[in-house]
Chains A and B, each alone.
Chain A
């Protein structure tokens, strides 16, 4: 973990109400896909947690949806803007557990961390299937990028305007070695009930600090009380209590 100033390189639309922001600066605190950063925004008090979508030595990519005041301000940021960011927060996904053909499941803005994970799994020689669910075609996110990595990408939309009509669980008809999921709770629960293989699930909670100090984000698990920001956001299937 560290506190760093990063500079916006570009900040462009990626889907309906969704933006992709690239920043340059020291990313050495990020150690695993599925970790997040906590962004200080001028005029707002609490930092905003956003997943690491992708990173290399000196670039960080965030993909975020405009849902309120903070993300609205982020969407208006221009290249050159400097941001105070707490980096490398949370545990992230364990790439080692993947097996040969893992499935990655994402819903809406749960997909950004799935991208960073897919990239590292492909680099490790895995056969990666990504199943993504959206409300509508206009919301489809990172599809071309995931295909370019070499993933098999399956899409479901609630209104049927892209991919199969229905929910992401309808796409999960193969045999997989392991699973990784990030998205809204009802999606996570449905995936949990559908898949028989082991897996890791990434959760969200409103946060005070993002680094384990305030107990704002606590949840109960079979392995005891955990903080989503520090002991999560990724929980293993066996420990989750719905």
Chain B
């Protein structure tokens, strides 16, 4: 059986659909110490904002059943440093186009960052994060209402021809409504899901573990939630979806694609097993054969009834 794992995402060719998710892969540098990251389909860089950000106070991390909470709060060196230093370094260590993840607190901030990042040769796709649960005032605000999600999409669409994926939060009443709203404003695709709002309490101290009180829940526990969300949005829109949430194995990749994902992102799993994405990619041919899949891109949405 000849196995074909290649995909084409809005004109960006990828060797496979396996993509480390934003915030769990830094700028790739740390992972070069563990494996040759050129095997990746692509990767999504740490959420970038207009100004440098330290992020939230620590503790930022907590253990949960089959997963973790994080409240990093978009720590990043700011778009100018990302453009001047990180992306050129990525070009050296990775070579292929990456996904520029953008966070923001205002429409202008999304626009500024999008313009600067879209101008970089090795940015293949812009991923607009309107859904981070860890920052006050902005972030998730934009992602929780169809009107503001549409407004951000419209504004970013005006400044770039590169593919725009809007990253959606699952912490809403109807994710399909938001997906349709951003599709109508010219989004090329949807990234989903961001983390679920969660918290843990230190029972000895009688205080929340996370300094920010709440954080974003991710990891294997959220996989069924993500799968259902991707399945529903696939039905609702006609643009490709990068599916994520708890994906940790080649089996999960296949399942996520059958639900409707054209490509799959892997987040928390990278933190537990630094070689997670490499292992998934190496295992894909075996699992494809197991299910009689020759061309991986054919299975997107295959489970729809």
**B272 near A3 (CB under 8 angstroms)?**
no
List, in ascending order, chain A residues with CB within 8 A of B34's CB: 1, 3, 211
- CA A153 – CA B270 in complex, angstroms? 42
A22 to chain B, nearest CB (A): 25
Confirm or deny: A214 has a beta carbon within 8 angstroms of a beta carbon on chain B.
yes
The reply to whether B70 and A45 form a contact with Cβ atoms under 8 Å apart is no
Which of B58-66, B88-96, B115-123, B154-162 forms part of the interface with chain A? B58-66
Q: Which of B9-17, B19-27, B136-144, B233-241 contacts A (4 or more CB under 8 A)?
A: B19-27
- Separation in Å of the A210 CB from the closest CB of chain B? 8
Say yes or no: A208-B274 contact (C-beta < 8 A), given A45-B64, A216-B61: no
Say yes or no: is B224 at the interface (Cβ < 8 Å to chain A). no
B285 adjacent to chain A (CB < 8 Å): no
> Which residues of chain B come closer than 8 Å to A207, judged between CB atoms?
61
Using a Cβ cutoff of 8 Å, how many contacts connect chains A and B?
Answer: 93
| B55 & A215 in contact (Cβ 8 Å cutoff) | yes
Q: Are B274 and A211 in contact (CB under 8 A)?
A: yes
Q: Would B59 and A205 count as touching, CB distance under 8 A?
A: yes
Tell me the chain B residues, 40-76 only, with Cβ under 8 Å from chain A.
46, 54-55, 58-68, 70, 72, 75
Complex Cα distance A103/B67, Å? 41
Return chain A residues, CB-CB under 8 Å to B25: 213
Q: A residues within 8 A CB of B58?
A: 205-206, 216-219
Residue of B nearest to A218 (CB): B75
Contact residues of B with A, CB < 8 Å? 23-26, 30-31, 33-34, 46, 54-55, 58-68, 70, 72, 75, 209, 219-220, 268, 270-275
Name 14 A/B residue pairs within 8 A (Cβ), A-sorted.
A3-B275, A40-B272, A45-B66, A46-B271, A205-B59, A208-B268, A213-B26, A213-B31, A213-B274, A214-B23, A215-B23, A216-B58, A218-B60, A225-B54
Known: A211-B30, A213-B24, A218-B72. 7 other contacts (CB 8 A): A206-B58, A212-B26, A214-B24, A218-B54, A218-B60, A225-B54, A230-B30
